């Protein structure tokens, strides 16, 4: 059974117990576009507690806004009770959400017409012209963009990332509203902005979306971003093939290793992006290849549009890490070295082994070490 068929099973079960249920959001958009959705979300008239009693494998993943994750044959489905959102006094979160409203109200709270459709029984429920906008390749808010961006400014970032992912155009009124209300992004949590920005950077039309962002002045509300920096990334011949490579281009052009700090990304993303930026800076010299993990090297090839030689390059090195060196700290101690001197000696030998100036051979390295220590005045 496909995921879509499992979703239908969920709908049937809910209806059998007197509720209503629909496939909603991105999955319906993707269905109309003829592409496969990443994941399928459902909306229902039942309350979360009722959903949980109907499906033995379900997890209350967001009970306060009505969401239960139902697992069917290892597939997770988010099932959310129809809800509407009260007023937004802070451009960020609704003051309250109301459960137990109609499908229509649930669709009304959604961001864009293409994301505000529902699917049921082979039919698309399309109250705001989502199918028409998909056909025209236009992103349009449900209702006034001024109002919708005023409620939640993250939607401005979402509009730009969908523009990039789908290669669509922003509706003219939406553009004006984004331009006028962009400053409200300052109220939005950085993590949420960063996630949308990563999706923008890795979308097929990211150059157009970055251009639109500059034109609407949205980049002024992102940390460490100048117009010039945006242009550099936009015009760079390399392509962000994943979030890390997108960030790497910013770090590289900003010439600032700490550029990513205010974006609140994970330590792994920060470390990999920094490494990749360094690769962009110095290219594939032997020592950099040695110090870079194979996964990041592979990303480097892909972002340059080259065939992936990461594995061969790694294989061609005389060793993979210092652990493989036939001379270690204990050997250095035996030769009378102490503390910092050991550190410097090992780093020097390591570099010369990697660059194949000396073979990785026990007796050779020991002789090299003795000479090094003599020069350093240790023995």
- Choice from 25, 94, 130, 240 touching ligand ATP (CB under 6 A): 25
Q: Closest distance between ligand ATP and the C-beta of residue 193, in Å? A: 11
Contact window for ligand ATP (CB under 6 A) among 107-115, 235-243, 355-363, 368-376? 107-115
Give every CB contact of residue 46 below 8 A, 6+ residues apart in sequence.
14, 17, 19, 21, 54, 81
**Interface with ligand ATP includes 274 (CB under 6 A)?**
no
Helices assigned H by DSSP within 304-360: 310-315, 329-334, 339-354
Tokens of 192: 């949420």
Among 154, 205, 325, 346, binds ligand ATP (CB under 6 A): 154
Residue 87 in the binding site for ligand ATP (CB under 6 A): no
If binding is defined by CB under 6 A, does position 152 make contact with ligand ATP?
yes
265 near ligand ATP (CB under 6 A): no
Question: Rounded to whole angstroms, how far apart are CA atoms 379 and 365?
Answer: 16
Residues near ligand ATP (CB under 6 A), total: 12
Binding flag, residue 26, ligand ATP (CB under 6 A): yes
Interface ranges with Mg ion (CB under 5 A): 26
Going by C-beta distance under 8 Å and a sequence separation of 6 or more, which residues neighbour residue 181? 146, 149, 150, 153, 156
HSE of 152, CA atoms in CB hemisphere, 13 A: 19
196 near ligand ATP (CB under 6 A): no
- Is residue 230 within a helix (H) or strand (E), and if so which, with residue range? helix 227-235
Of 8, 140, 155, 302, the one binding ligand ATP (CB under 6 A) is 155
Least distance to ligand ATP, CB of residue 203, Å: 10
Query: Which one of residues 110, 120, 140, 238 is an interface residue with ligand ATP (CB under 6 A)?
Result: 110
Interface with ligand ATP, residue 38, by CB under 6 A: yes
Cβ-based neighbours of 59, under 8 Å, separated by 6 or more: 68, 69, 71
Out of 81, 115, 141, 245, the only residue in the binding site for ligand ATP (CB under 6 A) is 115
In this structure, is the dihedral angle defined by the CA atoms of residues 105, 106, 109 and 113, taken in order, positive or negative?
Answer: negative
Least gap, CB of 27 to ligand ATP (angstroms): 7
b or e along 149-168 (b: 16 or more beta carbons within 10 Å of the residue's beta carbon)? Answer: bbbbbbbbbbbbbbbbbbeb
CB 275 within 8 A of CB 257: no
Rounded distance between C-alpha atoms, residue 72 and residue 150, angstroms: 38
Which part of the chain contacts ligand ATP (CB under 6 A), choosing from 48-56, 152-160, 259-267, 272-280? Answer: 152-160
Q: Please say which residue, 115 or 296, places its beta carbon nearer to Mg ion.
A: 115
Which is nearer to ligand ATP, 26 or 359 (by Cβ)? 26
Closest CA relative to residue 301, chosen from 316, 291, 290, 289: 289
- If one asks whether residue 156 binds ligand ATP (CB under 6 A), the answer comes out as no
Binding residues for ligand ATP, rule: CB under 6 A, are 25-26, 38, 41, 110-111, 115-116, 152, 154-155, 158
């Amino acid at each position: 059974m496909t995921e879509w068929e499992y979703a239908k099973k969920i709908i049937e079960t809910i209806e059998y117990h007197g509720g209503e249920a629909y496939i909603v959001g991105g999955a319906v958009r993707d269905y109309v576009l003829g592409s496969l959705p990443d994941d399928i979300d459902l909306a229902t008239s039942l309350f979360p507690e009722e959903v949980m009693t109907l499906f033995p494998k379900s997890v209350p993943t967001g009970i306060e806004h009505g969401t239960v994750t139902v697992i069917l044959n290892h597939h997770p489905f988010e099932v959310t009770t129809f809800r509407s959102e009260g007023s937004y006094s802070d451009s960020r979160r609704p003051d309250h959400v109301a459960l137990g409203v109609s499908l229509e109200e649930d669709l009304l709270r959604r961001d864009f017409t293409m994301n505000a459709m529902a699917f049921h029984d082979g039919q698309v429920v399309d109250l705001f012209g989502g199918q028409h906008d998909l056909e025209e390749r236009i992103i349009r808010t449900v209702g006034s963009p001024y109002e919708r961006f005023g409620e939640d400014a993250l939607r401005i970032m979402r509009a730009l990332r969908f523009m990039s992912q789908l290669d669509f155009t922003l509706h003219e009124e939406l553009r004006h509203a984004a331009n006028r209300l962009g400053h409200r992004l300052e109220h939005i949590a950085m993590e949420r902005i960063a996630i949308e920005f990563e999706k923008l950077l890795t979308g097929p039309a990211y150059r157009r979306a970055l251009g639109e962002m500059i034109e609407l002045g949205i980049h002024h509300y992102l940390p460490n971003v100048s117009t010039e920096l945006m242009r550099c990334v936009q015009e760079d011949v390399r392509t962000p093939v994943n979030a890390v490579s997108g960030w790497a281009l910013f770090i590289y052009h900003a010439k600032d290793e700490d550029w990513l700090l205010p974006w609140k990304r994970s330590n792994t993303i920060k470390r990999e992006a920094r490494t990749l930026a360094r690769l962009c800076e110095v290219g594939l010299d032997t020592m950099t290849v040695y110090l870079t993990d194979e996964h990041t090297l592979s990303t480097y090839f892909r972002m340059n549009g080259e065939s992936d030689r990461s594995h061969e390059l790694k294989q061609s090195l005389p060793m993979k890490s210092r652990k493989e060196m036939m001379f270690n700290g204990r050997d250095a101690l035996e030769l009378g070295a102490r503390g910092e001197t050991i550190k410097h000696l090992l780093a020097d030998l390591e570099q010369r082994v990697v660059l194949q100036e000396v073979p990785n051979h026990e007796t050779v390295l020991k002789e090299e070490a003795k000479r090094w220590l003599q020069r350093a005045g240790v023995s």
